[in-house]
Amino acid sequence: MTSEPTLQMSETLSHEATATARGRPVLAIHGGAGTLLRSAMSPEAAAQYTNALEGILRAGQLQLQRGDSALDVVVQAVRALEECELFNAGRGAVYTAAGTHELDACVMAGDGLRAGAVAGLRTTRNPVLAARAVLEHSEHVMFVGPAADLFAARQGLEQVPHGWFGTPQRLQQLRLAQALAAGVVLDHDGQAAVINTDNAPLDEGQKFGTVGAVALDDAGHLAAATSTGGMTNKQAGRVGDTPLIGAGCYANDATVAISCTGTGEPFMRALAAHDVSTLMAYAGLPLAEAAERVVMQTLPALGGQGGLIAIAASGEVCMPFNTEGMYRGFARVGEAPVVAIYKEAQP
């Protein structure tokens, strides 16, 4: 695994490295962004997260090497993130104010702008699989609530008891948020006064949830997938940017594949993912400049915090974020995966 100091602030590869890697299949993933706890974190705790990310990247590398489609790769990567309790999606999803779970997901294929999305799932084990089923087996693009779970069940996707998604740590985060009268807070808690109950590298009281993946395959196709458990203590029924095409997830073979994580409402108002693609397509900006403008200028002006991962049609990888850290990594076929949590200073 490549050490973190090799990654710069925007996570954009150098011009020389990008030029030599154009067109090579590549996968990038994220597991949320937020405030650092570097001083209070043990190396063992950091390793738990980086090892999880690296394992998912290595599995995706093997898929890309054998010629699997970008859509197959991002869906499998996000499914693995949903199965990992460390992240806020699927198993380990956060609780609403009502003590329930409501899960959202979106997938998009860059060829033909094909997309599928679901919101408010309560019994479908892997929301990303439900989103893909919508893409492949429905004339529609999005299903919500009980109808989305019913659609998934009819497609043969595994259903689980609603309580399967919860963990003791997530329940504790809800209780802390409610006890402090903190109101709606993102992902695990969102308030500095709330302790980091999981001893995680990113402060679980200052972390923005969501997981995602983007990929470029050997046929030149792009794909993106995003999944989330939402916000701790959110009002039941609230839907964020994750399942909204162009807000939290977007893929277009002509430009870029993007998955976002952060404060959902500003990402929705800015159509953040699509805005990066638009800046590339109509303003002629390179990926790094387009992504930096959206993440560092457009979103903060709306109160938006978080970041995104992106892969351009050329194969360039970019991972900007305006928080102190973001769980992230990428892997090209034939190269060692690169995984990081912290934002390193500019050279």
Choose the catalytic residue: 18, 35, 124, 210.
210
In the numeric block, the tokens 């959206």 are attached to 294
**119 touches 239 (CB < 8 A):** yes
Dihedrals φ, ψ of 78, to 5°? -70, -35
Q: How far apart are CA 33 and CA 306, in angstroms?
A: 6
pLDDT at 160: 97
Q: Is the pLDDT of residue 138 over 60?
A: yes
pLDDT at 193: 37
What single-letter DSSP state applies at residue 176? H
298 belongs to the catalytic site: no
Q: Is the pLDDT of residue 7 over 50?
A: no
Average pLDDT over residues 84-95: 93
The pTM is what? Answer: 0.87
Q: How confident is the model at residue 232 (pLDDT cuts 50, 70, 90)?
A: confident
DSSP conformation letters of 124-161: BS-HHHHHHHHHHH-SSSEEEHHHHHHHHHHTT--B--
More confident call, 51 vs 192: 51
Question: For 34-66, what is each residue's pLDDT tens digit?
Answer: 766 655 556 787 889 999 999 999 999 999 999
CB neighbour list of residue 14: distance below 8 Å, 6 or more residues apart: none
With pLDDT > 90 as the criterion, what percentage of the chain qualifies? 71
pLDDT at 33: 86
Average pLDDT over residues 134-157: 98
Q: How far apart are CA 84 and CA 299, in angstroms?
A: 29
Question: For 292-307, what is each residue's pLDDT tens digit?
Answer: 999 999 999 999 999 9
List beta partners, residue 30. Answer: 212, 328
Average pLDDT over residues 9-15: 38
Q: How confident is the model at residue 189 (pLDDT cuts 50, 70, 90)?
A: very low
Element (H, E) at 76: helix 70-83
Candidates 145, 238, 144, 122; CA nearest to 184 is 238
Rounded to the nearest 10°, the torsion over CA 73, 154, 249, 210 is -80
pLDDT at 181: 53
Query: Tell me, what CATH number does 86's domain have?
Result: 3.60.20.30
Q: Which two tokens stand for residue 10?
A: 């925007």
Tell me which residue range forms the domain holding 238. Answer: 4-342
Q: How far apart are CA 32 and CA 228, in angstroms?
A: 10
Dihedrals φ, ψ of 56, to 5°? -70, -40
Q: How confident is the model at residue 17 (pLDDT cuts 50, 70, 90)?
A: very low
Q: Specify if 228 maps to a domain.
A: yes
Q: Specify if 347 maps to a domain.
A: no
SS3 230: coil
Candidates 335, 318, 341; CA nearest to 58 is 335
Cα→Cα distances 234→98, 187, 262, 286, 307, Å: 8, 9, 14, 37, 21
Give the chain's mean pLDDT.
86
Q: How confident is the model at residue 179 (pLDDT cuts 50, 70, 90)?
A: confident
**121 touches 130 (CB < 8 A):** yes
Number of domains in the chain: 1
